[in-house]
């Protein structure tokens, strides 16, 4: 007699068939043009800093898995993404030993302590960046000029600073566009910002390349477009209103969109599937919070940049957004009347 078995399980009942490894690998591919342009802009300095942060992240992931007697998870590419993103948020002349510590912190404190991939509350790369900023404020706010003629033949002495020694910087550029606006009231050309012809963190590269990478992931349904759309739209609207109120004090909304790490954060960091909400409306709220907080910190805060703290704060309240904003159960009314 043939018996039929009815399997009852929780959703999702239909999936795309893509594994975590496949998704993460595509994120790496989308990030590579950003990395290559950063190396083109800053030369060997950016290559060494990004490479060190990535190596430290992958090594830490492997060692922690071995110490926990678990199968190594370096093959899922999540540690690679953490390292690449961390390296892109650092100045190109950042000492390698500090970048190495950042990679360890990103994986150990930002990811593994919560249970590994799929359980981290905060974006691991931004956790590492926040700790590095608190520990090494001078090194992380000292900028190296872009497009130097000898960038592929020489390396800044600060990069090879011995561990726990104070770095000495050979060539220091002027303020970043955001710092120049914040403290001197000077704005940078939107074209230069969009094409990455500026000094700053390694990832403050061409916004055009970052957008192309995001469009690639959206087209492959590996990124929810609502998050970057909500971040950029809310930042544009708030900065646009301020610009209309007083254009002599506040910069144009285009300057706010293309300067600093907003584009990189909106496309590759805030969209972390684990630390962001799951409902469509929740994603819009989450993105709007990041965009508004970024402008608030940039304009009225003590720091020139606010993307990192905005995303981390939004990560912290992401579970609460999910608990407040819930999808309507199929077959029920939007508002249930009390019996």
Residue 117 lies inside a defined structural domain of this protein:
yes
Q: What are phi and psi of 282, to 5 degrees?
A: -60, -35
Per-residue model confidence as pLDDT tens digits over 267-295: 999 998 888 998 999 999 999 999 999 99
Residue 256 lies inside a defined structural domain of this protein:
no
Question: Mean pLDDT throughout 7-27?
Answer: 70
Q: For residue 60, what pLDDT band results from cuts at 50, 70 and 90? A: very high
Q: How far apart are CA 200 and CA 31, in angstroms?
A: 18
3-state secondary structure of 223: coil
Residue 110 lies inside a defined structural domain of this protein:
yes
Higher pLDDT pick, 68 / 176: 68
**Structural domain for 144, as ranges:** 19-173
Residue 267 lies inside a defined structural domain of this protein:
no
Per-residue model confidence as pLDDT tens digits over 237-254: 999 999 999 988 888 999
3-state secondary structure 24-89: HHHHHHHHHHHHHHHHHHHCHHHHHHHHHHHHHHHHHHHHHHHHCCCCCCHHHCHHHHHHHHHHHC
Total of domains in the chain = 1
3-state secondary structure of 292: helix
Task: Show Cβ contacts of residue 207 under 8 Å, excluding neighbours closer than 6 positions.
Answer: 193, 194, 195, 196, 257, 258, 263
3-state secondary structure of 169: coil
The per-residue pLDDT for 339 is: 43
Q: How far apart are CA 291 and CA 201, in angstroms?
A: 20
Six token digits for residue 31? 């990030």
268: DSSP letter? I
Residue 152 lies inside a defined structural domain of this protein:
yes
Tell me: pLDDT of 109 over 90.
Answer: yes
For residue 242, give the nearest of 191, 299, 307 by alpha carbon. Answer: 299
Q: How far apart are CA 116 and CA 110, in angstroms?
A: 9
Question: Mean pLDDT throughout 125-149?
Answer: 90
Residue 163 lies inside a defined structural domain of this protein:
yes
For residue 178, give the nearest of 30, 38, 35, 308 by alpha carbon. Answer: 308
For residue 122, give the nearest of 135, 134, 109, 132 by alpha carbon. Answer: 109
Question: Mean pLDDT throughout 197-209?
Answer: 78
Residue 180 lies inside a defined structural domain of this protein:
no
Tell me: pLDDT of 338 over 50.
Answer: no
Q: What angle do CA 183, 184, 186 make, to 5 degrees?
A: 125
Q: How far apart are CA 98 and CA 34, in angstroms?
A: 22
Residue 98 lies inside a defined structural domain of this protein:
yes
């Amino acid at each position: 007699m043939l018996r039929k078995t009815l399997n009852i399980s929780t959703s999702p009942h239909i999936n795309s068939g893509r594994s975590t490894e496949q998704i993460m690998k595509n994120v790496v591919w989308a990030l590579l043009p950003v990395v290559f342009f950063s190396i083109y802009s800053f030369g060997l300095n950016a290559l060494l800093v990004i490479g060190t942060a990535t190596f430290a992240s992958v090594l830490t992931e492997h060692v922690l898995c071995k110490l926990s007697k678990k199968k190594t998870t370096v093959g899922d590419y999540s540690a690679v993404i953490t390292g690449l993103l961390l390296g892109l948020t650092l100045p190109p002349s950042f000492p390698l030993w500090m970048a190495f510590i950042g990679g360890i912190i990103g994986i150990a404190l930002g990811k593994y302590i919560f249970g590994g991939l799929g359980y981290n509350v905060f974006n691991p790369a931004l956790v590492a960046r926040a700790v590095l900023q608190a520990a090494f404020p001078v090194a992380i706010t000292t900028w190296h000029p872009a497009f130097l003629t000898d960038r592929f033949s020489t390396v800044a002495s600060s990069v090879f600073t011995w561990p726990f020694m104070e770095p000495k910087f050979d060539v220091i550029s002027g303020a970043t566009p955001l710092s120049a606006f914040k403290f001197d009231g000077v704005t940078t050309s939107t074209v230069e910002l969009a094409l990455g012809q500026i000094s700053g963190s390694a990832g403050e590269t061409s916004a055009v390349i970052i957008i192309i990478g995001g469009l690639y992931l959206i087209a492959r349904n590996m990124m929810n477009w609502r998050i970057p759309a909500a971040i950029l739209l809310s930042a544009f609207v708030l900065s646009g209103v301020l610009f209309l109120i007083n254009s002599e004090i506040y910069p144009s909304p285009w300057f706010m969109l293309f300067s600093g790490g907003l584009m990189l954060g909106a496309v590759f960091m805030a969209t972390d599937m684990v630390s962001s909400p799951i409902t469509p409306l929740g994603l819009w709220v989450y993105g709007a919070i990041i965009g508004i907080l970024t402008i608030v910190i940039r304009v009225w805060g003590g720091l020139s940049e606010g993307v990192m703290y905005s995303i981390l704060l939004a990560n912290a309240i992401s579970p609460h957004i999910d608990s407040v904003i819930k999808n309507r159960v199929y077959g029920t009314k939007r508002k249930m009347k009390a019996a």
